[in-house]
Amino acid sequence: MKKLLIISPYFPPVNAADIHRVRTSLPYFAEEGWEAELVTVDPTYADMGRDELLMDSIPKGMKIHKVKALSKTLTTKVGLGSIALRSMWYYRRYVDKLLARQHFDLIYFSTTQFPVLVLGAHWKKKFGMPYVIDMQDPWHSDYYRDKPKAQQPPKYWFSYRLNKYLEPIALKRASGLISVSQDYINDLNARYPVIQNIPAATITFGMFAPDMDIATAHKSEFAQILSPGYTNIVYIGRGGNDMHAAIAPVFQALKAMPNHDAINKKQLKLYFIGTSYAPTGQGKNSIMPLAEHYGVADLVTEITDRISYYHTLATLLQADALFIPGSDDAKYTASKIYPYLLTGKPLLGIFNPQSSAIEIIKEFGINTVYGYDTVNADDIHRFIGSVIDKTSVTPALPPHAMAKHSAQTKTALQCSVFNQAIRYEQS
């Protein structure tokens, strides 16, 4: 059995989007010949919400190492709130000691807390440890450079320059690369020709059916968000101006929908929940201004505060239908599509026409998924009308698609990259 050391600053019970690759892979690593241990930041130092139920999905006996981090109260005074920067020194010291006394075959970075990835180059130099990087999102990117300051992430000036400096340190020494998008891999190969021959694979997140069982078992514990007596169409996930191109066609169609005032106000509500990463109560609406622009704010509810992972799943299961808007960035892949599919609810998806999400959703027999350049008002009217009339039919999920996109299959693909990375370093 080969030994895998996973680096993931956020991990359950912390409720962060980048924990799910590792979390849903852990039950299957041993089947592929890998015994995994994980190093994370003690959740008392984390700046994200918690969902204690996430621990129910972690295999019993899993060895989890915890490191400290600088207090965010202290570091924010100098503008450094990132958990990656706050924990880096502690990570280096702890893992140095761990690697000195214990054998591992590979280090696996699976996180969007990117600065910790530079430690891979350090551990490779000091211990000869090969390492694989999982690029769940772009690290250094020019996407926001030409955007108005109001649309740029907080502290963009600093983070852009830091990312530009740190990314090559981590990437040029990597032994393998995994990404949710082939475009991310192509960009990195073009930027760093030295990695063009390392093992690389595009592997999306996987479907993890046990999550639905956990959500269902605990549904009575969650606060009710949706309005009873209405037809509730729900999206739960981040907002932002980059999603306006996918959301605008829906708002336009709602405004033009027959009997808008007489019927829809009484029957229909669209929810956008958890749209901001800001602390509770401090988020700014990014969807409501668009709804107001199109004159449909009466049909739309935006809740910027994030809710826990299993509260999210329970709410999706309570909805009458689901909506997934994608980013206008063609490279963006919506990892949330798999939990949405597992609900069995009617689903409307609108994405950049180049997004891989369109073809993935169609593999499951769902034809109400469109590019935002081709979707029209009639498409949206038919979908909403069938949901209101309760005539929509969602096909059973095809077994071949379920198997292809399961977390178990995705874990096997990850392990294939691990094995190739080791052979690459030995060649």
Per-residue confidence (pLDDT) for residue 324, from 0 to 100: 96
State residue 336's pLDDT score.
Answer: 80
pTM of the full structure? 0.90
Residue 152: its pLDDT value, please?
55
pLDDT of 221: 95
Q: Which long-range contacts (CB under 8 A, 24 or more apart) does 92-101 make?
A: 92/119, 92/122, 94/39, 94/65, 94/67, 95/5, 95/7, 95/39, 95/119, 95/123, 96/123, 96/126, 98/5, 98/39, 98/65, 99/5, 99/123, 99/126, 99/127, 99/129, 100/127
What pLDDT digit, counting tens, does each position of 148-194 carry? 666 556 665 456 567 777 899 999 999 999 999 899 999 999 999 99
Structure tokens at 345: 């609810």
Give the pLDDT score at 262: 43
Residues of the chain with pLDDT under 50: 77-78, 157, 261-262
- Output the pLDDT for position 54: 97
* Cα 263 from Cα 251, distance rounded (Å): 16
